[in-house]
Amino acid sequence: MSDVKDLRISVIGAGMGGLACALAFAKKGFKKIDVYESASNLGFVGAGIQLAPNLARVLDRWGCWAKIHADATTVTSSSIREGTTNRELALVKMHDVVDLYGYSHCVGHRASLAGSMFEACQKESAITFHFSTALETLNNFGPDKVSFTVKPRDGEAYDVETDILLGADGIKSIVRTTLLKSINSSAEVEDTGQAAYRIMLSRSQMEHDPEMLELLDSNCALRWIGEKRHIVAYPISNKTIYNLSTCQPDTNFAVAPSMTYTTRGDKSVMMKVGATMAIEDAAVVAECVSAVPVTDGKIDREALSRSLQVYELLRKDRTAILVDMAEYSGRILHLGEGQAKEERDRQFAEGHKKGNGIPDKWASPEVQQMIYSHDCVASAQENFAEIFSSLTREKTNGVAK
Ligand SMILES: Cc1cc2nc3c(=O)[nH]c(=O)nc-3n(C[C@H](O)[C@H](O)[C@H](O)COP(=O)(O)OP(=O)(O)OC[C@H]3O[C@@H](n4cnc5c(N)ncnc54)[C@H](O)[C@@H]3O)c2cc1C
C-alpha cells in the first residue's frame, strides 16, 4: 500500500468520540472507514452540553458548527451561587470570549451536536455505519495484524481485519480493557459515588413564573454549589428548554431498576469537557495518521505506530490536566461548612472584585484561556514532524500503541 488514505479505519462506538473519529478521517481523505455501534440507532438521548471555542474551532473545520451554533445559547456570563441561599459568590463576564478566541462559548443540546456530526458523516461515502453490531472480542492488535470480532444483534458473529482500530466504546470500553490487560495494567473504573441527574424544563412549564422565565431568557450559565453537590443550569435549544444537571452523592445506580434510570448506563462523574476532549482527540489522531511518511513507496507499520505515539504525546498532558482540574473543581465546589469553605468564598469574592482567577476552574478566566485558545489541529500540524523524528525505532519497537 502506498497511499496512507487507503488504510482501513475501524471505529468501535458511534458516540461523541466515534462520530468525530469517522468524520475526522473522512475529512482527511481516508476512503474506508467502518463504524460499529451496538445500539440500533443513535437515538440521541441526553440534555445540555457545553460548546467551548476550542470545540467550535474543530467542528467549523468539518463544516458542522454553523448548524449547531444556530440553536445554541451564547453564554455571556457565568454565575456561581451558594445553593442554600442563592447568594452570588462570583459573576464572570464572558462577553469578550468571541473577540479573544474567535468563537463564543455556547451551550446546546447534545442531540444537536451528535446529530450534526452524524449528518455530516452520512454525506461522506467513505463512512459505513454498522448499527446493532457490537464488538465482542479484540483478537490481535499489532504490530502486523489488527483483528476483532463483532456480532450483529440478529446474526452470526464475524471477524474483521483492519489497519487501525479506534476504540470509542465509552466508559465500559472493551477495547481499553483488553489493551490494558495485555500490558498487565488494571482497567478498573473507580466509582466516584456520585451521579448526575438531568432535568429539562420546557418553556410552557416555566412561563407562568417570572423568575423562572428570566432564567430561561438569559444568557447566563448558573452554578449552585453546596456540600458534596452542585447544579449546573442554562437555557438550550433556542431557549425553549432550561437544562439542569445535578451532581450529587448517589448509590442508587447500583440498584437501578432499569437502564432508563440511568442514561445508557453512564454513571460517570460529570465531566464538563469529556465530549470536547473526545472530539479534539479524533481530530488529532486523524492528523497524525495522515502525516505518516511513506518509505520506498510503502507504508511502514513501524512508522504508523510511531505516528500513533505522536498522537498520544500531543494529547496526554492536556487531557490529564483537565481531568485533574475536574477533580479539583469537584472537591472545591463541594466543601461543607468550615475554614476551607470560608477561604474558598473569600477567593471567590476577591476574584469577583478584581476579575482574577476564581476557585471554580471552569469559570476562571486564566483556565478558559488555556482551554479555549488551543487549536488542536494546528498544534498537531506544527509539531508532528519534530515529535515523530524524535521517537526512535527502538522506542516504539514496532508495536502499535
Ligand atoms: C451529566 C453529564 C454531562 C456532561 N456534560 C458535558 C459537557 O457539557 N461537555 C462535554 O464536553 N462533555 C460532557 N459530558 C461528558 C461526555 O458526555 C462524555 O465524555 C462523552 O460522551 C464520551 O464520549 P465517548 O465517545 O467516549 O463515549 P460515548 O459518547 O458514551 O459513546 C460510546 C458509544 O459506544 C457504543 N458502544 C459501547 N460498547 C460497544 C461495543 N462493545 N460495541 C459497539 N459499540 C459499543 C455505545 O453504545 C455508545 O454509542 C457530560 C457527561 C455527563 C454524564
| Domain residue ranges in the chain | 4-185+193-396
Beta bridge partners of 222: 79, 233
Q: Is 4-185+193-396 assigned to CATH 1.10.10.10?
A: no
Mean pLDDT of the chain: 88
Per-residue pLDDT at 262: 37
The helix/strand/coil state of 46 is coil
Query: C-alpha angle 325/330/332, rounded to 5°?
Result: 90
Nearest by Cα to 117 from 179, 63, 40: 63
With a 6 Å cutoff on the Cβ, whether 15 touches ligand 1 is yes
**Residue 74 alpha carbon to ligand 1 centre in Å:** 23
Ligand 1 atom with least separation from CA of 13? 34
**Residue 324 alpha carbon to ligand 1 centre in Å:** 19
**Residue 45 alpha carbon to ligand 1 centre in Å:** 11
pLDDT: which is higher, 350 or 267: 350
Ligand 1 atom with least separation from CA of 42? 49
Per-residue pLDDT at 266: 33
Q: Cα–Cα distance between 20 and 167 in angstroms, integer?
A: 12
**Residue 17 alpha carbon to ligand 1 centre in Å:** 7
- Mean pLDDT of the 32-54 span: 90
Identify which of 161-170, 245-254, 257-266 has the greatest average pLDDT. Answer: 161-170
Nearest CA to ligand 1 atom 48: 15
Classify burial at 316, counting beta carbons within 10 Å of its beta carbon; exposed 0-12, middle 13-18, buried 19 or more: exposed
Ligand 1 atom with least separation from CA of 48? 8
| Span 218-239, pLDDT tens digits | 999 999 999 999 999 999 999 9
258, pLDDT greater than 50: no
269, pLDDT greater than 60: no
Ligand 1 atom with least separation from CA of 266? 53
With a 6 Å cutoff on the Cβ, whether 243 touches ligand 1 is no
pLDDT: which is higher, 148 or 297: 148
Question: How many helices and strands in the chain, by DSSP H and E?
Answer: 14, 19
- Where residue 120 falls among pLDDT bands split at 50, 70, 90? very high
**Residue 170 alpha carbon to ligand 1 centre in Å:** 5
Per-residue pLDDT at 270: 39
pTM of the predicted structure, to 2 decimals: 0.90
